[in-house]
A and B are shown apart, each in its own frame.
Chain A
Amino acid sequence: MCRLALKTAIEPFSPYSVITAMEAMREGYDGSGLGLLLRGLSFKDYAYRAGDLILSGIAHGGAALHRLNGFMEAGGFELKYDHEFNTDLSLIEAKDRYKYILRVYKAPAAWKEFSQARVDDELMLSRLVLRQDGEAHGNDLTVFSFWPDVATIKEVGWPLVVGNALGLNDDRIKARVVMAQGRQNTNYAINLYACHPFFIQGIATMTNGENTAFVPIKDWLAGRHFPGYIGYQSDSEVFTHILHYVLRQLKLPLEAYKHVITPLKTEELTTHPQGDFLKGLRDACRRLIIDGPNCVMGSMPDETCLMVMDHKKMRPGTIGGRPGVWAMASEMCGVDALVPDRDPALDFQPQREHMVIIPPDRKELTVWSQFQTFPLPQAA
């Protein structure tokens, strides 16, 4: 089973601390890949200005990098910072890595006139163009994210080794939110696009477990004909897209995500104060019901973090911490390693009806239950 660790703190910290914490969860795990997603970035060598765009990916050859540069220039993106990792490629299993890309760009001047929604779409489309360009050239270019204040690193191999290979222990990158997934080679052949966390327009999630309802969910999402709903090298990518769909297309609050992926039973909805509305929502979004067992952790552009689980998740994720620092992990020992100086008695393991939210102020956890109502001003 894949390992998940998420840490969020007011003070930026090194992603390496999350990777080392993952070692605590090594038992029963084959560590065949690492995915990292960082938010709230700060660089030792560069003063990052909030709002500037960060492009993350891998160029597998000079030609790919050249095309990437050409595309970015033609698009009017101004390169502000190119983070050079202290790489030791000998530690990396794959032999075709040319350059790990983590670059800061300034958005084209013309975008100032654009609405936020337009900007968001342009960013996604640019990422997709680069991805397709790589795919059209024998996968020589992999692009994970292109968004303000989000960096993504994905690589095949044992997580700690990957961290060392990229020199992440040099403290040159820090972040306020780090999502890390240690991949277990489960049902799909390893492909970098199959590594969690998945990202779309500021929204990121990672999962462990098995999404047995993958095909019907994927079919439905693909039917939205939304350009970003592609990929699906992993059965977990749909969790990110569902969250995106609920928040950005349906414009529902975060809590609705839980009602969409794991709706309450009919008998439970019959006595629920918002039962009528929720039954209709469940029916309308029926193809998005997940059928785990899955534990989903996510983070939002405003650094809100969340964790949900389905009915069948027998080994739930754990969440714990103290005001200012919180951690979620797929195994209890992971939380211990991430935030040792906390009161473990206050750790929480969500049940099937819970959504745990760590708000951006990181003061305390919000445990919300599906049996409670949620704010739905216009609808309810």
Chain B
Amino acid sequence: MVAIPNLSVTPGSLTYPDLPWVVAHREDRCTLCGRCTSVCPTEAIYLTYRRQRMPRLDIGAGVKGTTTQRTFVGIRQRTDLKHRCIGCGMCAMVCPNEAITPAPNANDQRAHFFHNQGGLPLTRGGRRNNRESLLDRIIFNRISMLTDPALDAGRHEFHLNTLLGRVLPPEEYLRRQRAGEWIPPVREIFPFIISSMSFGALSPNMWLGLLQGVAYCNEVLGIPVVMATGEGGCPPWVLKSPFLKYIILQIASGYFGWDEIIRAIPDMQCDPAAIEIKYGQGAKPGDGGLLMWFKVSKLIARLRGVPAGVDLPSPPVHQTLYSIEESVMKMIQTMSMAWGFRVPVYPKISGSTSAKAVLNNLVRNPYAGALLIDGIDGGTGAAYNISMDATGHPIASNLRECYLDLVAQGKQNEIPLFAAGGMGKNGNITQNGMAMIMLGASGVHVGKYIMQAAAGCLGSEKNRCNVCNLGICPKGITSQNPKLYRRLNSDDVAQRVAEVFMSIRTEMKKVMAPLGRSQSLPIGMSDALGIDDADVAERLRIRYVC
């Protein structure tokens, strides 16, 4: 059968109601300034001339009806997937007349069936597209009514910091102290840590803004915030600066950036906060890092020791070693040695049912400084959608199991556990972080929330924006294109970082004060937690409340 040629309808044809976001444009308000079309990261909208027939009906004998035409100008939405509207809302943000806005399409979204054109599955940035957050449902309900008097969050003195690094059992500490033997390095840090986002994934302005903000938190506000680099190292000036002490350097399977770091060691003024060895990431378990060619600018290429403009996929595993146990052991030892055993070294793994095995391996490794577990709700700059949405392990039960395993061994103070993945997913960063701490985490790593709160990242779990992998970040957060990242002022980011951490500090006190806790971070204080789901309560061994 021959297809009717003048109807361009193919299996993949889409129209507005098929797309996740439909652009609503009000012609009566539009002044045709063109700002929306020029800011749109996907070129989803365009300015167009249209012609409209104006039929005229003359009633009267002998008069022949005439039809005239009117032309008009308007904004139209493209319907091919490459140019789909991603709902970022930049058009609305720049429109001086409130004439345009993306509206979420509540209908069935047929577009999802076609995110495989050319045989390529959907890749994107962001998090698992799932709004639900178990952590949002955990509440703090062991309210201390008997203390004399109840704590005043505003005036009382609170100890909010946590420890990063291997802590010896007391007997062993005393023995080594007496014998003058090595005592593992321990850092006292704020329990909310800016998680690893690489210098290549983030724009220079974003990265600088974070660092400025972190330095301000430490040096002016007295909040000892640290940030992790992600793979790819960091600029030589930072390595040789006193700010290095606020930075956790990550080494990942591509080893990108480590030539620069190793070369800078003799010139370092201080030690880094810690070394993170990345074995896995919650958003994309089993995948290595991926920096697309268009993000590999000259600077990034230099830092990573590669030619500019090439894709930089890191292998899924550390290739140099035979087994994961051997790898963990040798990597931790090598990294410890590089800094004279003065810097805590710890692995980061993706949340997994096998996390406990890794943990028990670390318990027996006297150099392991911590374990960071990144749950399925962790963010990333680039991954396959299926990895993000369907691969991994939620953090709450994973972390809790590991903690209880340590408790059974009496070693919960020796290897601090850090949790990541979905912290502050819906903006409740302190609630989520404190819940994890009371479940047994020594602290939490926060990435996406920081991008959202400090830099105005537009991404969401309704798949808004999430084009971080394409180098077209409309806010200039995850782009190496100067035209885009100049939109982001690093001073503004720094100010927001400071505001965010000041607010977390206050909220931590508001959580701890009614629980009667102030003298140490309530790690493992699970008797304070409740949730309105009996099964979850049983699994997490917390109280069921309704």
Interface residues of A (CB under 8 A from B): 1, 186-187, 209-210, 212-216, 219-220, 222-225, 245, 249-250, 252, 262, 265-266, 277, 280-281, 283-287, 289-293, 310-315, 378-379
Contact = CB atoms under 8 A, between A and B. Distances in A.
Interface stretch (B166-174, B238-246, B364-372, B456-464): B166-174
Most chain A CB within a 10 A radius of its CB, from B147, B159, B161, B173: B147
Contact of A289 (B167, B410, B519): B519
Contacts of B147: 209-210, 212, 292-293, 312
Contacts of B105: none
10 contacts: A1-B148, A209-B147, A212-B144, A219-B407, A220-B410, A224-B410, A245-B170, A250-B171, A281-B170, A285-B170
Interface residues of B, number: 42
B239 to A, nearest CB: 26
B410 A225 contact: yes
B459 to A, nearest CB: 36
B519 A284 contact: no
B170 A250 contact: yes
A186 B170 contact: no
B441 interface: no
B333 interface: no
Given A210-B146, A216-B524, 14 more contacts: A210-B147, A210-B516, A212-B144, A219-B524, A223-B412, A266-B161, A280-B168, A281-B173, A284-B168, A284-B169, A291-B518, A293-B148, A310-B519, A379-B178
Contacts of A214: 527
Contacts of A213: 517, 519-520, 522, 525
A187 to B, nearest CB: 7
B167 A212 contact: no
A53 B57 CA distance: 120
Interface in B394-426: 407-413
Interface string B145-189: 011110100001101010100011111011001100001001010
B146 A284 contact: no
Given A213-B525, A283-B163, A284-B170, A223 B144 contact: no
A287 B412 contact: yes
A286 B146 contact: no
A210 B517 CA distance: 11
Contacts, number: 115
Given A210-B144, A212-B147, A223-B412, A250 B517 contact: no
Would you list the 4 A-B pairs with minimal beta carbon distance, nearest first? A223-B410, A212-B516, A284-B173, A289-B520
A158 B524 CA distance: 36
B186 A283 contact: yes
A179 B362 CA distance: 46
A266 B186 CA distance: 13
A243 to B, nearest CB: 14
Most chain B CB within a 10 A radius of its CB, from A290, A292, A313: A292
Most chain B CB within a 10 A radius of its CB, from A213, A290, A291, A310: A291
B248 interface: no
Contact of A314 (B148, B183, B515): B148
B523 interface: yes
Most chain B CB within a 10 A radius of its CB, from A212, A252, A277, A290: A212
B198 interface: no
Contact of A215 (B148, B151, B411, B524): B524
A293 B409 CA distance: 29
Given A223-B411, A284-B167, A379-B174, A312 B151 contact: yes
A268 B4 CA distance: 85
Contact of A286 (B144, B407, B515, B520): B520
A236 B520 CA distance: 18
A379 B181 CA distance: 12
B466 interface: no
A250 B173 CA distance: 10
A222 B413 CA distance: 13
Contacts of B148: 1, 209, 293, 313-315
B13 to A, nearest CB: 60
Nearest to A246: B170
A293 B150 CA distance: 9
Nearest to B406: A223
A181 B519 CA distance: 26
A245 B413 CA distance: 16
B412 A291 contact: no
B91 to A, nearest CB: 50
Contacts of A289: 519-520
Interface in B504-529: 515-520, 522-527
Contact of A223 (B173, B409, B517, B520): B409
Nearest to A290: B519
A157 B400 CA distance: 41
B190 to A, nearest CB: 13
Contacts of B409: 223
Nearest to A250: B170
A212 B149 CA distance: 13
Contact of A311 (B174, B407, B408, B518): B518
B433 to A, nearest CB: 17
A266 B515 CA distance: 23
A291 B524 CA distance: 14
Most chain B CB within a 10 A radius of its CB, from A280, A283, A379: A283
B159 A265 contact: yes
A212 B524 contact: no
